[in-house]
Chain A
């Protein structure tokens, strides 16, 4: 059984179906990317894993069924979530933003905090600054940091590069790779920027209109010119 396994997942907002019969698997220690255009259902997929959306189907994580559990219990089971557009607490300091993530953590808060600061030294320098006054890149760091404060084994990151300059995107890519290589996390990201996804991830899933269209390793996808043209535009 895979580390994260999604079987026949459908998700709904009221009566509208946002995801249809999605199946996906992630192995421990992998970085995978879910690529798709606006409205493809990428954020809904991550929200479904976190139990934030009404859904059918089954989601297993680390050998246990997590579908149907509360978000609080899903986080406690070891899944951290950095939502789209950072979703921070704007008039709270960087440190307080990070601490909100720590409330459900199993590990020591101080240890988690030093881990986050070692990954993003800029946050340590600005821990008393309100996040409303920070740049987009710094806010993304706070968002990733807050997710790390929950002591996750699997990290879900929704569109980590949205609205960020190319240089900052590279910094974020380096941080995400370090999270896997240095801290042993499994990472799932969603992306519209297919190039970014291909430089970071080992496997890619392509989502279109709530349905999974293509899945494969980056090498396999690169070989298929029709696919590249259809979904990656390069």
Chain B
């Protein structure tokens, strides 16, 4: 695994920073941070699948939406306790992850991306047409049970969730499976030639990604207390997730977190000047510039700076 003391120190410092934030920032900023935490969870989920294996998903809200809708319907329509509804939502999302896996067994590249986009659109149409009495149709659902009250509690819950998911994913990807998944993204035929089952590896990546997406989606809907299909199954939402990963640094776990925080705050600070969708042009431009200058993202830039500082200090 190659774990070193400074890895734990870095995660510990990050946890400490999160724990202290409510003392240092306003309630409004905390609410923004809650969204950053959930975006980080979705970005980690996307990165587990697409960043590692190279199967670029344009339909990730399909998985997030299944987690969110399942938990929302179970709690609101059937009166299921939220502690039971969330695990069920995660299981249902993982089953949906298997559905997304099926095309990946035969196609990849842009074809796979388009199929996943179709999954998202299909889901958007389905929740409006099939049993609107359950899904709320085009208007969605409101009055869904929330897990916390107030910005501070919401922030702590989302932070703990994001932190646990990040550390677990980080540890997982430092195992042999993580190495094999990275290899799968770089050269699938060579992985197969080395005797590894690419189908099993893909299944693992899709299940892990779906697990995180389902968990994040379920908790997110119980934070918002409402769900609207147009906001969830939206191409801008997909691009926000993908850009967060690319800006932060794909295949790194830490990168998607950095990217999610950077993007959320960028969008928030741009809001007074550009209240509409024009904001997305700005972050698109930043993503493009960053991608041209440093394709491995902010994380790689930080690590490069750290290594050069470390080298200077040891000389």
Contacts and interface: CB of A to CB of B under 8 A. Distances in A.
A87 interface: yes
Interface stretch (B84-92, B187-195, B207-215, B220-228): B187-195
A186 interface: no
A100 B197 contact: no
Contacts of A72: 195-197
Contact of B193 (A81, A91, A96): A81
Given A87-B187, A89-B182, A92-B179, A100 B194 contact: yes
B180 A100 contact: yes
Contacts of A87: 187, 189-190, 193
A141 to B, nearest CB: 15
Interface string B162-201: 0000000000000010011011001101111111110000
Which of B180, B187, B197 has the largest count of A CB atoms less than 10 A from its CB? B187
B195 A89 contact: no
B181 to A, nearest CB: 10
A25 interface: no
A100 B193 contact: no
B183 A92 contact: yes
Contacts of B196: 72, 100, 103-104
Contacts of A146: 194
A74 interface: yes
A100 B191 contact: yes
B193 A103 contact: no
Contacts of A90: 186-187
Given A99-B179, A103-B176, A91 B195 contact: no
B176 to A, nearest CB: 6
Interface size class of A (residues with CB under 8 A): 20 to 34
A47 to B, nearest CB: 8
A92 B193 contact: no
A71 B193 contact: yes
Nearest to A51: B192
A96 B175 CA distance: 11
B190 A88 contact: yes
B176 A89 contact: no
Contacts of B187: 87-90
A104 to B, nearest CB: 4
A65 interface: no
A14 to B, nearest CB: 14
Interface in A76-101: 76, 81, 83, 87-92, 96-97, 99-101
- Of A72, A81, A91, the most chain B CB neighbours within 10 A belong to A72
Contacts of A75: 194-195
Contact of A89 (B183, B192, B197): B183
A52 interface: yes
A2 interface: no
Nearest to B251: A91
Ordered nearest first, which 8 A-B pairs have the shortest CB separation?
A75-B195, A104-B195, A89-B186, A87-B190, A89-B183, A100-B183, A72-B197, A101-B194
Given A50-B193, A83-B189, A88-B187, 17 more contacts: A52-B189, A52-B192, A72-B195, A72-B196, A72-B197, A75-B194, A81-B193, A89-B182, A92-B186, A100-B183, A100-B196, A101-B195, A103-B194, A103-B195, A103-B196, A104-B195, A150-B195
Interface of A: 50, 52, 70-72, 74-76, 81, 83, 87-92, 96-97, 99-101, 103-104, 146, 150
Interface of B: 176, 179-180, 182-183, 186-187, 189-197
22 contacts: A52-B193, A70-B197, A72-B197, A74-B195, A75-B195, A76-B195, A81-B193, A81-B194, A83-B189, A92-B182, A92-B183, A92-B186, A99-B179, A100-B191, A100-B196, A101-B194, A103-B176, A103-B180, A103-B194, A103-B195, A104-B194, A104-B196
